[in-house]
Structure formats: structure tokens, C-alpha cells
């Protein structure tokens, strides 16, 4: 089962919608609230994470994501409200079930 981190910019309730397809943690679960993107990604790598789900659209421009073994799912949403993100859950699950493990997936 893939190990996934839910970024702190997303609602915690999303975790419960995805736990049937992955082992999922929030940034708060791991005690990584104070970590900036670069250090967060390094901590994820050291802890064996496979994916980061975020709504930070600038991440791909701020970090050299190719150098990490982690894949990134970026939710391209107008806001981070649970109700806005909820319709994307099935698409997120499809990405997490896919064995090709693309480096960067932007939804929708």
C-alpha cells in the first residue's frame, strides 16, 4: 500500500476519504507543521513516503521535484474547502491506484 502525506493546506477530513486506497498521514500527524517544502520533502523521503497531496500550485516551480523519489498530486482548486475538494476524491484514488506512478499529477 502506498504511503501518502496530506499537506497542511488541505482539510484533514480528506484523509478519511482516501484511507481505503493508501496509508495516509497529515503533516500534523507526523509533527512536521513547521517544515518548509524542501525540508518537508526530505523528511518524507527519509520516512519512505510515496506521494504528497497538496494544493500548492507553485511547488513544481519552487522545488526540483525530479530529484526526489516522491510523486506529487497537486489539486488545482479555487479554494481548499472540503466541499470544493470532495468531487476530486475518485480521481485522486485513480492516481493512487495507478502503478505507473507519475512524478507530477495535476487534478483537475
Q: Give residue 5's pLDDT.
A: 98
Question: Pick from 7, 47, 2, 49: which is nearest to 21 by CA?
Answer: 2
pTM for the model: 0.96
Domains and CATH numbers, the chain: 3-107 (3.40.50)
On the question of pLDDT at 63 being above 90, the answer is no
* Distance (Å, whole) CA 89 – CA 40: 23
Distance CA 90, CA 96 (A): 10
CA angle 104, 58, 5 (to 5 degrees): 55
Backbone angles phi, psi at 85, to 5 degrees: -85, -30
Q: Dump pLDDT digits (tens) for 74-108.
A: 999 999 999 999 999 999 999 999 998 899 999 99
Say what the pLDDT of residue 21 is: 98
Amino acid at each position: 500500500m502506498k504511503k501518502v502525506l496530506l499537506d497542511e493546506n488541505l482539510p484533514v477530513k480528506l484523509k478519511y476519504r482516501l484511507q481505503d486506497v493508501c496509508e495516509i498521514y497529515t503533516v500534523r500527524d507526523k509533527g512536521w507543521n513547521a517544515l518548509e517544502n524542501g525540508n518537508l520533502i526530505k523528511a518524507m523521503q527519509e520516512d519512505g513516503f510515496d506521494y504528497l497531496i497538496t494544493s500548492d500550485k507553485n511547488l513544481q516551480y519552487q522545488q526540483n521535484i525530479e530529484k526526489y523519489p516522491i510523486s506529487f498530486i497537486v489539486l488545482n482548486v479555487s479554494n481548499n474547502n472540503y466541499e470544493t475538494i470532495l468531487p476530486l476524491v475518485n480521481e485522486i484514488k485513480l492516481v493512487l491506484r495507478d502503478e505507473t506512478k507519475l512524478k507530477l499529477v495535476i487534478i483537475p
